[in-house]
Structure 1
């Protein structure tokens, strides 16, 4: 039996769930190369102290599978220790497989690069290697009761266009790997994750169909540096309602009207949202999205800042954490802790619904008509000021 998509495998806690995308405070994801269970437990103590109930963790694919014929056990054991550490602090775990893309960096194994250059999504040899990797990892983490979900990877559509693909190929790629994960870990949620170019860019080869038809629920990533914050500023209606807009758009696009939507990433990016506005952004954004009946839960990006001694990250990536690298709570963390302690807004069925100009499943080439700044988006934002607003795609 598959886990309940609202409550997870244990039946608790009730929706909505609150969690964090785990970025290690010491050494970023390079810490997997010099693993310290003590450091992980110190980080998880921070997160449990906020009242969070889950974390999303990111093993690095090429460090586990450095050769197509080798899947290393030691990093898998380190991942299992991370999962066990989360359990010690009452945290459920979602595991992403293909990293893939993290904080602006791409991590791909050498056997898919250099003179071996092959498309992740189209080449049969690479896909066979990935199938072995996903099967092995899913079987390993599937042994842990506090693992509730498996996601193919973090925003895998960021790996295009360096890995050529088409809409048909990317869809088939995700379908195949989800089937592999589901067979290996049949009692876990199996999910597919894409960033919002799949929702808003007309020529993008990953489409909304992948988000709403693949996996056991829909995941969305809401980032206001996609142009939203330029519409009306860091605390303007368009900015603080974007997460709700994307959740509502995803819910409206799905063929299943009861399909939940996981706000799997959201954060406070500078300079789009200045540090002094961070807590207000959190409160107002969550006040909007928590009223959406489709919402499964919210997972903040990220748990901890990136140490500025590490070079060459885009500047906004360093300060996205709920905690500093020395474990101090930031204003966003305080705001989230207050919201978790509640009471938080109850889901509200919208009294007003706006007709979208396009069905994204039927005409993905018209995605720009619902993108931030489009006429429809601006109409929805204006209406949302007065209360929750639904979206209809006018599907027969």
Structure 2
């Protein structure tokens, strides 16, 4: 099968020692050991997460030491040939929210709607984006990790959510014009009819679309750890994103995907990795795949959801796990995106203008079930109803025929 340019493969960096608390007493030797692990299995990039309130503890203070630590981690990545994507607002990580005191308690305000908070965040984004742009191995700046997880503790509306993100994308682009400026949202934006972050935000804001595929969102309950709905979920999200964008050539980055337990038992890990990547890596819209996450979470740290402890490609003592070994084998196959045409399933739910109908494409919906059935025979695109008769759109997305769910 003819292939387009090779895919990018990377990992979301979770430090093996001390989790993200390690930023408080950074050890570059520990970082170096972690990045050696990732380079050893052929990964080409990492996504890193500086902790926002530790760098900007006051609206008027961005700590230079925090900025310098971030740059030092980026420089260590360069030692191992790893390019870097930097997330700005953490924000939300593994069930914990990291918010500065100046949006909490007596100062409680929504970071999405309060003008003072937005101005302070813009100053932070400008400072960090300018700093990381000085490093040649940085390729992207994402506003934050799944910032829609910070709702409802930070009240917002669809209009405010869009304006907030658009404003910060402009800040990042002005500060770092040579880097990708990106928006990151978890999948409620695609599936929850009432969620105040809409699908159009994913595909209109930023320089490419990011999606996060987690099968504990209900997909694995449909047909188990290795069923067709489960192993095709990443491909389904990439297709929803491609179908929703007005730009048929807009790339989609599978920015997070992992093997969560108990949804995928340890014995099924390697097969889940291979079947999932078999499905998604042929997608012509796919830019790359970034695994969540690099390393397990040390069980000496308490109060995490059970599934968070063993999501790593490597153990805390640097042993490669089955997912790492299978991923290394797949990277060695030098896969690219497929050039061949494929059929598409017509979707008459307009996610751009009808976000209240998102449940109609959610896992378990009639549309999703129809797509999964068709997907078992080979790649199947999704095309929005108002673009299903557009020859140029179909050709750009390598769509041959258009099918209807009926």
Band the TM-score falls in, shorter-chain normalisation: over 0.9
In the TM superposition, what is the alpha-carbon distance from 1:356 to its structure 2 partner?
Answer: 1.1
The TM-score with structure 1 as length reference comes to: 0.96
Given the alignment of the two structures, is residue 34 of structure 1 paired with residue 25 of structure 2, yes or no?
Answer: yes
In the TM superposition, what is the alpha-carbon distance from 1:348 to its structure 2 partner?
Answer: 4.6
Name the CA distance, whole Å, in 1 between partners of 2:9 and 2:317: 23
Q: Please state whether the residue corresponding to 2:338 is helix, strand or coil.
A: coil
Give 2:219's aligned residue. Answer: 228
In the TM superposition, what is the alpha-carbon distance from 1:148 to its structure 2 partner?
Answer: 0.2
Given the alignment of the two structures, is residue 253 of structure 1 paired with residue 244 of structure 2, yes or no?
Answer: yes
Given the alignment of the two structures, is residue 74 of structure 1 paired with residue 65 of structure 2, yes or no?
Answer: yes
Given the alignment of the two structures, is residue 118 of structure 1 paired with residue 134 of structure 2, yes or no?
Answer: no
In the TM superposition, what is the alpha-carbon distance from 1:24 to its structure 2 partner?
Answer: 0.2
Given the alignment of the two structures, is residue 286 of structure 1 paired with residue 277 of structure 2, yes or no?
Answer: yes
Runs (4+) of structure 1 exceeding 6 A deviation are none
Name the CA distance, whole Å, in 2 between partners of 1:213 and 1:63: 31
Please show how residues 219-368 of structure 1 align to structure 2 within 5 Å: 219-344=210-335, 346-368=337-359
Name the CA distance, whole Å, in 1 between partners of 2:272 and 2:331: 16
In the TM superposition, what is the alpha-carbon distance from 1:347 to its structure 2 partner?
Answer: 1.2
Among 129, 153, 164, the residue aligned to 1:173: 164
Name the CA distance, whole Å, in 2 between partners of 1:15 and 1:205: 35
Q: Could you give the per-residue CA deviations for residues 226-247 of structure 1, whole angstroms, max 9, x where no partner exists?
A: 0000000000000000000000
Is contact 2:32-2:76 (8 Å) kept? Answer: yes
In the TM superposition, what is the alpha-carbon distance from 1:14 to its structure 2 partner?
Answer: 4.5
Is contact 2:7-2:337 (8 Å) kept? Answer: no
Given the alignment of the two structures, is residue 62 of structure 1 paired with residue 34 of structure 2, yes or no?
Answer: no
Q: Could you give the per-residue CA deviations for residues 132-176 of structure 1, whole angstroms, max 9, x where no partner exists?
A: 100000011010000000000000000000100000000000000
- Say if 1:27 and 1:233 are closer, same or farther in 2 by CA, change over 3 A: same
Q: Could you give the per-residue CA deviations for residues 197-250 of structure 1, whole angstroms, max 9, x where no partner exists?
A: 000000000011110000000000000000000000000000000000000110
Per mean C-alpha deviation after superposition, the further-off stretch among 353-362 and 146-155 is 353-362
Is contact 2:255-2:291 (8 Å) kept? Answer: yes
- Say if 1:348 and 1:234 are closer, same or farther in 2 by CA, change over 3 A: farther
In the TM superposition, what is the alpha-carbon distance from 1:394 to its structure 2 partner?
Answer: 1.0
Specify every segment of 5 or more residues in structure 2 that has no aligned partner in the other structure, as ranges. Answer: 388-406
Name the CA distance, whole Å, in 1 between partners of 2:25 and 2:113: 33
Among 184, 196, 215, the residue aligned to 2:187: 196
Among 197, 200, 209, the residue aligned to 1:218: 209
Is contact 1:51-1:337 (8 Å) kept? Answer: yes
In the TM superposition, what is the alpha-carbon distance from 1:376 to its structure 2 partner?
Answer: 0.3
- Say if 1:343 and 1:89 are closer, same or farther in 2 by CA, change over 3 A: closer
In the TM superposition, what is the alpha-carbon distance from 1:395 to its structure 2 partner?
Answer: 1.6
In the TM superposition, what is the alpha-carbon distance from 1:350 to its structure 2 partner?
Answer: 4.5
Q: Could you give the per-residue CA deviations for residues 341-380 of structure 1, whole angstroms, max 9, x where no partner exists?
A: 0043651544321111301001010000000000000000
Given the alignment of the two structures, is residue 98 of structure 1 paired with residue 89 of structure 2, yes or no?
Answer: yes
Q: Could you give the per-residue CA deviations for residues 308-364 of structure 1, whole angstroms, max 9, x where no partner exists?
A: 000000000000000000000000000000000004365154432111130100101
Name the CA distance, whole Å, in 2 between partners of 1:124 and 1:15: 43
Q: Please state whether the residue corresponding to 1:395 is helix, strand or coil.
A: helix
Name the CA distance, whole Å, in 1 between partners of 2:136 and 2:17: 27
Give 1:20's aligned residue. Answer: 11
Is contact 1:355-1:391 (8 Å) kept? Answer: yes
Name the CA distance, whole Å, in 2 between partners of 1:391 and 1:365: 19
Specify every segment of 5 or more residues in structure 1 that has no aligned partner in the other structure, as ranges. Answer: 1-12
Name the CA distance, whole Å, in 1 between partners of 2:200 and 2:342: 27
Name the CA distance, whole Å, in 2 between partners of 1:380 and 1:196: 18
**How many equivalent residue pairs?**
384
